[in-house]
Amino acid sequence: MSNQLSRRLALLDDDAHRGLLQQGLRGIERETLRVDQQGDLARTPHPAQLGAALTHPQITTDYAEALLEFITPAEHDIGLALNRLDAIHRFAYTKLGDEMLWSQSMPCDLPPEEEIEIGWYGESNIGMLKHVYRRGLALRYGKAMQCIAGIHYNYSLPEQLWKVIAEHEGIAEERRHALRDFQSESYIAMIRNFRRYSWLLMYLFGASPVLAKGFLRGQAHQLETLSDDTLYLPYATSLRMSDLGYQNDAQAGLRPHENSLESYVTSLMDAVNRPYPPYEELGTKKDGEWIQLSTNILQIENEYYSTIRPKRVIRTGERPVQALCNRGVQYIEVRCLDVDPFEPVGVALETGRFLDAFLLFCALEESPMINAMEGQVHARNFARTVKEGRKPGLTLTRDDQEIPLQQWADELIERIRPLAELLDSEHNYKGAHVESLEHQKAKVANPALTPSARVLDEVRALGSFAKFGLRQSELHARTLRADPLMPAEIAAFEEQAQASLAEQAEIERNDTGSFDDFVAAYNSSTLCGNS
């Protein structure tokens, strides 16, 4: 254990500061495709009974019209967030009719590209901006990519905790925004540690070692054939997070520097403003219709696909990067988790408990700057794990030496153990975090226990990824429909849905100015202020 981690653990274990960890916030975003009874992509519009995708705070769509996104409120305990996620699922099933929620990260059998509908958000300028952005994604990456689903885990520690640590470590307050800057740079340091160690999450929780053959649309690949309609890699943990995911030549060289918030923001802003010749050839309009928001490397900063992002709740009309510039980092968003096909809501409580200990470790442990060469090593370790993480004898690179993945994983889990013990003692969880660590140690000792191995076993037994996906989707649908919400809960959701529809209508009524002017103003609003 490093000196810094020892000091910070002792500080938070002090009677005066006990309970601070209970004040952090957790939230989950779960993406899931709507499918029909045969397990094929639903062709219907986003159900109006679920509310307006543009304005509903908890039920929206991501990229494709059929790709639902459920968003929990931020809670102090991941268990409460999961309870809310469960309620959203149960409500959705009261409005889905014969449709179901797809149980996998990788999509079901998909129709031809032209038949996959892009998310629609109404005719207001802001709604059209969201839609045209997705048109641009379809143009740049293909529509099949817009049907991939994942779990996003939002995590923050309380500002008071950062203040206590800053005071303990002698961070001067004379400088304007000193504490805010300390918090931001602490989250950036946390992200650097996440880069070092996130391969472990892919080994433990990756659940997409197989995919439907049609997903690749005939492109060249190095996958093996499991059956007529199924491709796989024998030791893969997460093909979703491999180079088959959101990747293209334009983003290939984009690696935002995470040695400071300033360098991170600067590199993203450069990509948002830097023209990319192949996109310039396409233009922003075709036959008078908008096809992408810009011809730059990124249309907007969120197009940069990263396993983790620094975040700040944005204000009306504000861009994410402006919020970070002006008010600093408020929380982080972990984006690399696959949907767990064995869980009705796509993620298990045990996974959340381990993530909380893992992320606390990343936040409190020493985190040296990462140079370009080290960044390549971390990316390579991650890539090895997603494509062959369960391969016997697989090694990763640590300190210029090759080390067996299993050995490093065991050592890392033991380094995390004091954080799990601290969480259990401060939250009175009766060992829940430590128990989750033991489950993860068992997966390290026996790769057959990992979700990716279990998925592959099930798919082999059924002979088809599509059959496995449909079976799990049907199973989860029965589970969620069998235990409906209380009438009062349903009424509250329905009221929220109606309010979101009214809010969208109000936005459309009050819209002024042309969409061309709206896009021009949005694209020019990329400079950070100095608040």
Query: What pLDDT does 114 receive?
Result: 94
Residue 48 has pLDDT above 70, yes or no: yes
Tens digits of residue pLDDT in 388-437: 999 999 999 999 999 999 999 999 999 999 999 999 987 677 899 999 99
Which domains, and CATH codes, for the chain? 3-524 (3.30.590.20)
* Res 384 pLDDT > 60: yes
Higher pLDDT, residue 1 or 69:
69
CB atoms < 10 A from the CB of 411, how many? 12
In angstroms, rounded to a whole number, what is the distance separating the alpha carbons of residues 229 and 266?
44
Distance CA 249, CA 269 (A): 18
Over 90: is that where the pLDDT of 195 sits?
Answer: yes
> Residue 172: is its pLDDT beyond 70?
no
Angle, helix 261-273 to helix 178-197, in steps of 10 degrees:
80
For strands 59-61 and 224-227, give the pairing: unpaired
* pLDDT tier, 171 (very low <50, low <70, confident <90, very high otherwise): confident
For residues 258-272, give the mean pLDDT.
90
The pair phi, psi for residue 154, each rounded to 5°, is -95, 130
Alpha carbons 182 and 157: distance in angstroms, whole number: 13
Compute the mean pLDDT over every residue in the chain, rounded to the nearest whole number. Answer: 94
Q: Is the dihedral of CA 305, 306, 307, 311 positive or negative?
A: negative
pLDDT tens-digit map of 196-218: 999 999 999 999 999 999 999 88
- Name the H helices within 315-464: 320-327, 349-364, 372-388, 405-427, 432-445, 451-462
The pLDDT tens digits for 20-31 are: 999 999 999 999
Residue 528 pLDDT more than 70? no
Task: Decide if 17 contacts 167 (C-beta within 8 A).
Answer: no
Q: Are residues 257 and 264 in contact, defined by beta-carbon separation less than 8 angstroms?
A: yes
Q: How confident is the model at residue 255 (pLDDT cuts 50, 70, 90)?
A: low
8 Å CB contact between 456 and 209: yes
> pLDDT tier at 386 (50, 70, 90 boundaries)?
very high
pLDDT of residue 531: 41
Asked if 393 and 404 count as a contact pair (C-beta separation under 8 A), the reply is yes
**Pick from 45-59, 74-88, 511-525: least confident:** 511-525
- H helix runs in 13-103, sequence order: 78-93
Mean pLDDT of 264-276: 91
pLDDT at 530 over 50: no
Reported as a pLDDT band with limits 50, 70 and 90, residue 256 is low
pLDDT tens per residue across span 93-135? 999 999 999 999 999 999 999 999 999 999 999 999 999 999 9
| pLDDT tops 50 at residue 227 | yes
Residue located via tokens 């901006």: 129
The H or E element containing residue 154 is strand 151-156
User: How far is the C-alpha of 487 from the C-alpha of 493, rounded, in Å?
Assistant: 10
Q: Report the residue count for the chain.
A: 531
pTM over 0.85: yes
C-alpha dihedral (440, 442, 446, 448), degrees to nearest 10: -60
Which position has the higher pLDDT, 245 or 6? 6
pLDDT-derived band at 253, boundaries 50, 70, 90 = low
